[in-house]
Amino acid sequence: MIKQQLLNRIADKSAVIGIVGLGYVGLPLMLRFAEVGYKVIGFDIDQSKVDALMAGRSYIEHISGESISEALGRGFEATSDFSRAPEADALILCVPTPLNKYREPDLSYVINTTESLVPYLREGHLVSLESTTYPGTTDEELKPRIESRNLTVGENAFLVFSPEREDPGNPNFTTRTIPKVCGGVTEACQEVGVALYSAVIDKVVPVSSTRAAEMTKLLENIHRAVNIGLVNEMKIVADRMGIDIHEVIRAAATKPFGFVPYFPGPGLGGHCIPIDPFYLTWKAREYGVNTRFIELAGEVNSNMPDYVVSKIASALNERKKSINGSRILVLGIAYKKNVDDMRESPSVILMEKLRDLGAEISYSDPHVPVFPKMREHSFDLSSVPVNADTLKSYDCVVLATDHDKFDYVLLKEHAPLIVDSRGKYLEPAGHIVKA
């Protein structure tokens, strides 16, 4: 029986694992499978990533080159040759699911990757999609393509959705310790998927279908997006009233039940929270449902860079300066503290808005030495050093991402004007403006 043969191979670790997409999700997953003794083949269309990995180099800050070298020693291989897919028993898809310019789901990476694999699919393959997407993607888009190979999902091929839950830079959770949700197209698919992930994850949480698993991931991130939208709106109200919202949140967080602290910022960043709500709002329209609550939170969050710009303009104006012609240093361009992840970073939106208003923009980020090539954003900049002399040369310093590596005492002593969008400075000071 094909299912039992695959289960046996997973159990005795003779199964070969294929990870498709070697980024912030795929690379940690590869390391985990290699760590427990599986042969892993990593697939990526970016040859520079393949070359780096085969040379034992990492291109993600929190993943060490040593860990890549150890994986190579255990038999890991990276390749851009999708014709090697038959060598793998499981193919785990970890590719981006961004939005297009109309803020609609862009499934091109998922579909193109699947279609690149289809010619090489065989009996006994397990395909798992980990990319965040709307409910129905797995059975509407992947299942027909897999079955176009004269395979029958649930009988001689298996298909699951198991959403990634990576949190780059979080020291408290690892790939192994974050519980893994898994939903199969059929019961047989579910059994195989749970067996695969149970081999490397401490706790696997089965759900009844791929659609339930897809909706689970969206709920997790929409919950966060809506709550961040709430505190961002509260920040604006509190500011008008002369109240420090961060003080209020810290006080409210002392309640031991019924309150979870979320913190405002200059906007939403990362590969999930700014994007995922739109996947559900788009799909919901197919069912005649308007997701007004979710869309309102998205509107509030997307307006936050404009709010920060207005605070910068006001602070400079009080000093008889305009944004046009001012030298502005943006501190932190990763989307959150202590990582090098630039995806959907609100700092970049902030930089573009200030540049468009005529500011002379520089940035400093200890995790991003050179501004990377991005699909929609372009700056020919490198991180500048932060010291007493450089700080004094700027008209305004904008704290956009509160990395621990910044010297906040030095900043306070030598920057002529600080616009703090992260609530880092608790004590009031004449040259610090909270945004």
Mean pLDDT, rounded, of the chain: 95
How far apart CA 86 and CA 251 sit, in angstroms, is 57
- Residue 36: per-residue pLDDT: 97
- pLDDT exceeds 90 at position 94: yes
Of 173, 160, 176, give the one whose Cα is nearest residue 214: 160
Catalytic residue among 94, 182, 272, 396: 272
Which pLDDT belongs to residue 421? 97
Residue 414's domain comprises 304-435
CA atoms of 58 and 51, how far apart (whole Å) = 10
Q: Which tokens sit at 68?
A: 């890549």
Residue 423 shares a structural domain with residue 314: yes
Domain count of the chain? Answer: 3
pLDDT in tens, 161-191: 999 998 877 888 999 999 999 999 999 999 9
What is the pLDDT averaged over residues 192-221? 97
Q: What is the pLDDT of residue 306?
A: 97
- pLDDT beyond 80 at 270: no
Do 176 and 216 have their domain in common? no
List the CATH number of the domain containing 426.
3.40.50.720
- Indicate if the pLDDT at residue 276 is higher than 80: yes
pLDDT tier at 282, thresholds 50, 70, 90: very high
Are 186 and 277 in the same domain? no
Strand partners, 126: 90, 158
Residue 248, domain CATH: 1.10.1040.10
Read off φ and ψ for residue 321, nearest 5 degrees: -130, 160
**How far apart are alpha carbons 64 and 60 in whole angstroms?**
8
pLDDT for the residue numbered 168: 79
Give the number of C-alpha atoms closer than 13 A to the C-alpha of residue 4, restricted to the C-beta side: 1
Same structural domain, 169 and 216 = no
Q: Are 14 and 94 in the same domain?
A: yes
Lowest-confidence segment of 224-228, 378-382, 426-430 by average pLDDT: 426-430
Q: Of 254, 285, 302, which one is at a domain's C-terminal end?
A: 302
Is residue 250 domain-shared with residue 188, that is, in the same domain?
no
Over 90: is that where the pLDDT of 274 sits?
no
End position of a domain, from candidates 208, 225, 251 = 208
- Out of 131-135, 152-156, 426-430, which region has the weakest mean confidence (pLDDT)? 426-430
131 in the same domain as 64? yes
Least Cα distance to 265 among 305, 312, 294 occurs for: 305
Closest CA relative to residue 133, chosen from 182, 92, 93, 97 = 97
Same structural domain for residues 308 and 242?
no
Among the candidates 281, 302, 323, a domain finishes at 302
Condensed to tens digits (0 to 9), the pLDDT of residues 13-22 reads 999 999 999 9
Q: Are residues 384 and 270 in the same domain?
A: no
Whether 195 and 344 map to the same domain: the answer is no
pLDDT bin (cut points 50, 70, 90) of residue 380 is: very high
Which tokens belong to 419?
């616009």
Closest CA to 349 of 280, 303, 391: 303
| Three-state SS letters, the chain | CHHHHHHHHHHCCCCEEEEECCCCCHHHHHHHHHHCCCEEEEECCCHHHHHHHHCCCCCCCCCCHHHHHHHHHCCCEEECCHHHHHHCCEEEECCCCCECCCCCECCHHHHHHHHHHHHHCCCCCEEEECCCCCCCHHHHHHHHHHHCCCCCECCCEEEEECCCCCCCCCCCCCCCCCCEEEEECCHHHHHHHHHHHHCCCCCEEEECCHHHHHHHHHHHHHHHHHHHHHHHHHHHHHHHCCCCHHHHHHHHCCCCCCCCCCCCCCCCCCCCCCCHHHHHHHHHHHCCCCCHHHHHHHHHHHCHHHHHHHHHHHHHHHCCCCCCCCEEEEECCCCCCCCCCCCCCHHHHHHHHHHHCCCEEEEECCCCCECCCCCCCCCCCECCCCCHHHHHCCCEEEECCCCCCCCHHHHHHHCCCEEECCCCCCCCCCCEEEC
270 and 367 both lie in a single domain: no
Do residues 68 and 204 both lie within one domain? Answer: yes
Give yes or no for a contact between 165 and 172, defined as CB atoms under 8 angstroms apart. Answer: no
Please write the tens of the pLDDT for every residue from 54-67.
999 999 999 999 99
Report the alpha-carbon distance of residue 257 to residue 248 in Å, rounded: 16
As a whole number, mean pLDDT of residues 425-433 equals 90
Q: Which of 271, 387, 405 is nearest to 338 (CA)?
A: 405
Nearest-10 Cα torsion for 298, 299, 303, 304: -40
Is residue 272 among the annotated active site residues?
Answer: yes
Rounded to a whole number of angstroms, the CA Rg of the chain reads 24
Q: How confident is the model at residue 272 (pLDDT cuts 50, 70, 90)?
A: confident
Residue 375 pLDDT level (bands cut at 50, 70, 90): confident
Other CB atoms within 10 A of residue 88 CB? 23
Report yes or no: 399 and 422 within 8 Å, Cβ to Cβ: yes
